[in-house]
Each structure stands twice: as structure tokens, then as C-alpha cells.
Homo-oligomer: A and B are copies of this chain.
């Protein structure tokens, strides 16, 4: 059994509370966030809050940069973008003051968030939390501007790229020995997207591994990056709703005795599949393609290669937003490998089953394929990991595939280890 009793029985003494851009989109929402942070402080916790920029601020700043410059300098773009979170943080701190608590907002650099020097996609290297610790010791609530840090090497402001504020929250929790609460407009992690599967069930807890696979295969609750960071530092994440006091989903080490075979069905409708044919089948051909893709920062997901009559056919899927970069990477590869036939398929989607228990249950894949076959759904590509099976199918078939798989694996019921 995956037992609820294995969840922590006492509240942590310290908590990092993270609120996304939609939670601080206007003054009323900012005051609401302030109330939640103040309430945690009133319950006796030491509280560090971190927030994203208000609503679509970051998008607006990026648009402004592109109005000024066709190719904005990375260092300056970071200087620009980092202001969004500072604004939100200062406003939340003001609102907390009005509730009778003392709050202090800190920029990434004031908070001691050290990163490498990769502008617009910096990685956190260390957190020197002396200033945060001092403020907490004085009984203050600390607000840290998310999504940013600074490079000790260049002394410049950096930003952390996609999922940056979640990463800030998890890294702070790791440095401070705190639990990490990530608030958003969804109440937790579900067995499937409730908009597609009406009886989808909110999970009480899920392991880091499963959450990683879910994030990688389309679940939008948490960014892959922050889950990875949490796993590496043993930070427990509580993913919950900004608009409700109900418990959400804990992402943590698996503490149950046994693991559910299948925890959830996820799907992704925003991938594009590239197929390259006529590639010379010589050592390093695939490497040339994916070196170029990596250099262009393309997030390649599924990869399949077939060799027929000495000529390889290579298919891979990428997120829709990486399509221009992928085209550029293919041009680079073509220059090295010679002309290839290139196809783009924008009509596919991916449905995935995630479950830590499936590695010891080889029948899961077969049951999945049979369920989809019964719906007359063709499998275009298949990829697997020890705890995940993904199928690329026609995008229009995604909703009924998700519903059928959710029902076939009885995910609406509390899982029972078999």
C-alpha cells in the first residue's frame, strides 16, 4: 500500500512558498498571496516566499527587448528580465507589512543565489543564505525574487530560464532545510488531465522519479528541472492550489512499502516529429544530428532510428517552440552529412503511462498497446523507460486514448500494490 500515514505528521519549521505569475497577476491577487504567507508565519513557521513576475510581465519585457533589438544581448536581457520578479516581490512585501508582519524582499544577488554565467539560462551553483538566515533569525518574512541569481565570476545579474522560479524555490528549500510549497492554479498532481478525464484523481503523493517522467511527458504542474533539483537535494515539494487550503500532492522519496504499477496517464499535444531519411549509415551520423540539436539547445524527446538497405531513417520529437532551432540544427547536420530528405509532422501527440511499479510488471506495455488497438489507434512511435511507456499517435485521438487508458488501469481508484 501507498499509505497516507507515511506522509509527514508534523509541519516543518521552515517553509519556502512559491507563487507563479498568475497568482500575483494583479493587486488583489498580490494581497491574497501576502495573506497566505502571513498565515503561515502566524502558524509559527519561518517563511521564505518567492514569486514570479506579475502575469505576463516577462513576455512583455521580452517583446520590449525585441522591439529595441533584433537580437538582444544576453547580459542586458537578464538585467531587463530580472526586474519583473523584483517588482512582484517588493509588492508582496508591502502587502505583508500592511498585515502587521515585517517582510523584506531580496533580489537574487542579495539572497545569495549564485549561478554560472550563462545568461538567460543560468544554473544555480550555490546558495549563500547568510542574509536570509539573518532576517529569519530576526523574525522577518523573507521574499526572494525568483528566476534570477548572479554570477560571481562576472558579478552580473543572471536569469534561470524556463521554470526558473520553481528552481529558485527548491534550491532555497535545500539550502534552508525547508519544505517547498509550490502554489499554482491547479490543486495538485492528477492521475490524468481532469479536463479530459472527469474522474481523474488527485494523488496524495508521488515519487520524484514518477514526477520526472510525468513532467517530461506533458504534465505541466512542475517543471522537470525543479523536480530534478528536489530529488538531488532531497527536498519535499508540496504542489498545491493558490486558491484553496486543501492539501495538494507531495513529491518526495517513495516512502510506501510498494509502489503502484501505474500512477498516471499524461499527454502532450505540442510536440513535432522530424523524420530524416537517406542518412548515410556510418558511425557518427546520428551523433552529428544530435550534436547540432544540442548546440541549438533543442530539447529532443523520443528518438527512433531504423536502418534499411544501409540507409538510416531517423525520427525524433521536439517541443513545438523548438521547431525553428531544430530546422537550423538540421541545416548544420546536412552540411556535414550531405542532403537528406526531411519531413515535419505537426499532427501527432503523445500519450504516456507513468508508474514506478511497472518496471517489475512487463505486461503493462502490452495492455497499453491492446487498449489503443481496440480504439483503432495507430502507434507512430514508441519509447519506454523503466517507469514510463509513451506512444506517439494522431493528435486528434489523444482525448479518447487518455480516457481509455485511465479506465483500463483503473486510475480512478486508490491504487493497490499487486
- Which residues of chain A have a CB within 8 Å of any CB of chain B? 27, 30-31, 61, 64-65, 67-73, 75-77, 79-80, 82-83, 86-87, 89-91, 93-95, 97-98, 103-105, 107, 110, 131, 155, 157
User: Across the interface, do A76 and B94 meet the contact criterion of CB distance under 8 Å?
Assistant: yes
Known: A65-B90, A65-B91. 10 other contacts (CB 8 A): A27-B64, A68-B94, A68-B95, A69-B98, A76-B91, A76-B94, A79-B93, A79-B107, A80-B90, A83-B83
User: Which residues from B are CB-within-8-Å of A64?
Assistant: 27, 87, 91
Distance of A103 Cα from B103 Cα, bound (Å): 36
A67 near B27 with CB under 8 A, answer yes
Is the beta-carbon distance between A79 and B86 smaller than 8 angstroms? yes
A93-B72 Cα distance, complex, nearest whole Å: 9
Chain B residue nearest to A106 (CB atoms) is B79
Assess the B83–A86 pair: CB atoms within 8 A. Answer: yes
- A94, B73: Cβ atoms under 8 Å? yes
Cβ of B86 and Cβ of A98 under 8 Å apart? no
Q: A155 with B110: in contact, given A67-B27, A75-B104, A94-B73 (CB under 8 Å)?
A: yes
Give me the 10 closest cross-chain CB pairs, A-B, nearest first. Answer: A83-B83, A27-B67, A79-B90, A80-B90, A69-B94, A76-B90, A76-B93, A73-B97, A72-B94, A76-B94
Which residues of chain B come closer than 8 Å to A107, judged between CB atoms? 79, 157
Pairs A–B under 8 Å by Cβ, sample size 25:
A27-B68, A30-B68, A61-B87, A64-B91, A65-B91, A68-B91, A68-B95, A69-B91, A69-B98, A70-B98, A71-B98, A72-B94, A73-B97, A73-B103, A76-B90, A76-B97, A77-B90, A79-B86, A79-B93, A79-B107, A80-B86, A80-B87, A80-B91, A80-B94, A83-B86
